[in-house]
Chain A
Amino acid sequence: MKAETIENLVVKDLFDDAEDSEDSFQKEGPTRCIFLCEFHPTVGPKITCQYPDNYISKELFDSVSVYIITKAELLRSTITVTLSDHKILGFPVRIDDKKYARNAYHFNLCFVCDSSSRTVHYEPVVMKLSDYLVAMEIESNFLSEGSSSTKLTPILKQVLEDLNNKGECALTEGPTATHLKVVKLRSNPTPVADHQVPIFIKSLPTQQWDLTTQQVAPFIDGFNHIARIASLADVENNLVKACVQNLVYYGAVALIPLFQYGNVYCTAPKLKMLTQDVNLQNRCLNFVARTYRQLPNLKDVFRMYAAMTRGTTIKDLCIRFNPASLKINERKLVQFGVLEGLIRRVHKYPVYLGESLELQKSMSGVSSMDEVCCFAGITAQQLEDQVERDHNVVLLWK
């Protein structure tokens, strides 16, 4: 995972609040039970306290106790054991001290989920909660006193209910306080390139931002590319990239290809949804309209999308349809299509088949025209002319 600065953590909190928590919990499933087990000097491993009571039976516990009170090598490891209908996630801990019967106190705080749900995102929570209990134990023998079940059960109850309902929990009992939060796991964002264009896909919460985002955000309008934003906002290029990448990670921003009238797009199978999904239709018409007062009609919008084939540039389309008279903003039309996956940009990849090693390197077929332009610092037109003249260059559209 990406190394996170303090700023990122702030952003993360903002978005987790803004997000509807339903979809994140549906797939991941709630915690069913939390229990604490310890190694009793005479009885061996046993459950000291659990909420809800008797969720994990004694027989079940005995069959898996070897994975809960473990050998010394596995201490402080997150261990998940999946049974036919439960998944038990624990973090075995040992506190060495002369005061204990065997000079050490073993315990493990475990979360139980359904066997089909994911539990990886609970791992940090389990670790943190265990550390909290360790602190309480060292401070005041909270666990080993024997009366733990009366004091601990309300805590476990609170954690279970708060995490399942709100996804976070603040424990203020005892001398120390701790805050727990279930953080949704996301895949790493891809690196951001100079020629890409960021566009907001949901409105930013109005809380305080870190300085870079505050400075960059006003220039993210769906048309400016990264390098341009950097110069407009007077922020260093790499900082803009990091900021945008961060926003992409939290799903606030999507990256789309730079709009040019020479670009070529092609239709995707999803285009059929435009006539079938009324919601998508309304969003589309409102988005692509020149002014919000006069909406274009669906037939024209659909015809324009349908006419996007390989070999047809946006310029050709504009000449053929005259989008202004149809009340369509062609830039927004392309933007919406790309964002919703109705159309896809067709990139041109120049491949040099001649002898020159230098040209072979720059036009190997790995990078598209956009990237070559960006790299060489020339305009698309210049490159196109050059490619046109040279018979050793083959253009692949894909």
Chain B
Amino acid sequence: MEVNPLCIILIKSDSKGDRLLFRYPFQVQERIEPTSTRKKNQYSLPATEDLLQSPPLPISNINNKGGLMGFTDEVLSSLFAVKPELCNQKFELKVNDVRFVSHPTLVQVRNKTQDESGLLLNIVFALQALASQSVVKCYYDLSKRVGVALRHEERRCGYISEQTQQMMAIHDDSCIGTPEIAFQTILEKCTLAKNINNLYEDLCNTGIVNIRINKWIPLSFCLPQKVHQWHLRGKIVEPEDIDRCTLSYRCLKALRPYHSLLLFYPLHQLYDFMSLDGSPSLVRMLSQYSPLKSLQTLAIDSDITLSQVFELTAHLVYWAKATVIYPICSTNKYVIAPDAPLHLNSPLIEKFNEAFPNVNLIRVISDFSLPMSLGQKCNPLCHPIQQSQLVQMIIWMLQHHLLLQLHTYVMYIPSNNGRLQHNMSEIKTGSYSFRSNGTNEIAGVYRSSRTESESEMSLNSGTPEPRTQSELQTSINLPNSSFTSVEEEKADYHEDLLLDFPEEERNIIFRIPSSSNSDDLNLFAKLCRKQYFLGEHHLEEIMYLENLRRGQLLALLDKFRDVLVTYEAEDPAIAMFLNSP
């Protein structure tokens, strides 16, 4: 896999010269000739045509076991003993198909006079060149962290000078043997080498690093590309801009107060994962955790602000400890996820059996071939125990990304040709912001026929607020004369309600029988104006934002079905948590 490191190399350079102190893994270093691996029939005729046409084989520095090869220790140490100008910044070097990344750290040696130039320490990660920029960035970050920790330890107790001297001594003693023996001895004797060993193993196995440097400084690190691959079972997901900041940012942007947290692990395992000095609010939040609670409820129950709950959720998602779902309730519709690895040899079947004995995963999940809600699945005669088991099974399947929730979206299509042309351009530029600063507010304004100066004005005033009726009336320059002549017989409130709609749309809406009911029309106009019917908001979101009941909304959709088309799809905000870490 291309996110795994090929090798971790430790280099030092000081006034006495540069030296490769340790590399892990050190067993695989023999150069395999590419020609010898290919079997060749000795009687075959050399095909001259092939010689001319086939391009020369690209040189590879990765052996078939996924290790580094073709570099001697001397070459490596000369490459990574960088000039002082390049120290304390990102260092990246690509040789053929291997990419080396590190943060060369200058360490001021303890018990030495200040004027000495100090010691350069370089922890280099060798990666496959195919690894994406985001992976490289993560490894750079890790190298930097190790460097900072080591520099601190040197200042505190001279850890580096002690370790480097020990390693050098072992190298010098075993100069007669192969370097592998020296590395083996170093691994047994030096704690820094052991740390590097653990680092490598952790990165290759789980992607989560949890080591203690010099038994003192804890170093935790998460390689998101690897960690999230684990719970997506090897499916390679690689958004281009996943790094710590953008991920948290995207996560925070996608979170809504009505979402809910779904942990991948039982609570007691999560407490183990938290270090002793972990955030107490995280503990408090987890103590109130339930996948049936929305984040807002969770915030109230654990007495933390909503924005902090968002931050903590984003944190847990980053560390692949949780995902975000819509709270489980009886109206949620679930289907099988398109990429669910459901087959007879899947280890998930066994795992499911352990959690729920005597139940077959395939049989249970086949009910979700068609969109199925919890309410549909349990009949009123159902035993409460069965019902709670069903909920548990759904939670299990959501944790393993086997199910997908479908939401209903509404699209407002008044005329046969959709919305009128001049509206289209406005929708694109329409002011629409959704902020997650704790007090979620929708600031969508249905803008119709706006003049140039007005839109500039609203830009200057920052977040536009829903305008009052009087404001709307002043900003309208529709051909009002024709409108009044056609619709004279209509009651006054109708004119008020739909005044900001284009005339054609208005006529179509008035042809719907329910439009004579002012309450219905009022609600319809309000939701339309707030741009809920553009396919951007699912029913649950509209319900949350407008404080409506499902029945009310469904009745409205039914009454105005001539202009409103519904369709089902997954929520892109939730899909973000599933598909990209």
Contacts and interface: CB of A to CB of B under 8 A. Distances in A.
Nearest to A310: B370
Interface stretch (A173-181, A199-207, A211-219, A266-274): A266-274
A364 B344 contact: yes
Given A82-B90, A298-B416, A298-B418, A272 B336 contact: no
B204 interface: no
B93 A67 contact: yes
Nearest to B407: A269
B342 A82 contact: no
B58 to A, nearest CB: 9
A153 to B, nearest CB: 28
Nearest to B97: A78
B497 interface: no
Given A303-B565, A396-B369, A365 B343 contact: yes
Interface in B321-369: 335-340, 342-346, 360, 362-363, 365-366, 369
B342 to A, nearest CB: 5
B17 to A, nearest CB: 14
A311 B93 contact: no
A371 B44 CA distance: 40
A375 to B, nearest CB: 15
Nearest to B345: A364
A134 interface: no
Contacts of B343: 349, 351, 364-366
A379 interface: no
B86 A344 contact: no
A306 B344 CA distance: 34
A259 interface: no
Nearest to A344: B338
A310 B344 contact: no
A360 B534 CA distance: 46
A298 B421 CA distance: 13
Contacts of A344: 338
A204 B94 CA distance: 38
Interface string A262-301: 0000111101100110100100000000000000011110
A394 interface: yes
A305 B567 contact: yes
A378 interface: no
Interface stretch (B70-78, B268-276, B476-484): B70-78
A66 B84 CA distance: 13
Nearest to B53: A6
Contacts of B96: 77-78
B59 A77 contact: yes
Interface string B104-148: 000000000000000000000000010000000000000000000
A373 B74 CA distance: 60
Contact of B344 (A268, A271, A309, A360): A360
A397 interface: yes
A271 B568 CA distance: 10
A367 B572 CA distance: 27
B378 interface: no
**Residue of A64, A78, A281, A306 ringed by the most chain B CB atoms within 10 A:** A306
A80 interface: yes
A301 to B, nearest CB: 10
A77 B95 contact: yes
A82 B93 contact: yes
Interface string B389-411: 00000000000000000000101
Nearest to B536: A272
Interface stretch (A68-76, A237-245, A328-336): A68-76
Contact of A269 (B340, B366, B427, B569): B569
6 contacts: A63-B83, A299-B413, A302-B565, A306-B565, A366-B343, A394-B363
Interface of B: 53, 59, 61, 70-72, 74-75, 78-79, 83, 85-86, 89-96, 129, 335-340, 342-346, 360, 362-363, 365-366, 369-371, 409, 411, 413, 415-419, 421, 424, 427-428, 534-536, 565-572, 575
Given A272-B409, A309-B371, A353-B363, 17 more contacts: A63-B83, A64-B86, A66-B83, A77-B59, A82-B92, A82-B94, A267-B567, A267-B568, A269-B570, A272-B534, A272-B535, A272-B536, A299-B418, A309-B568, A310-B371, A366-B343, A396-B336
Interface of A: 6, 59, 62-64, 66-67, 71, 73-74, 76-84, 120, 266-269, 271-272, 275-276, 278, 281, 297-300, 302-303, 305-306, 309-311, 344, 349, 351-353, 360, 364-366, 394-398
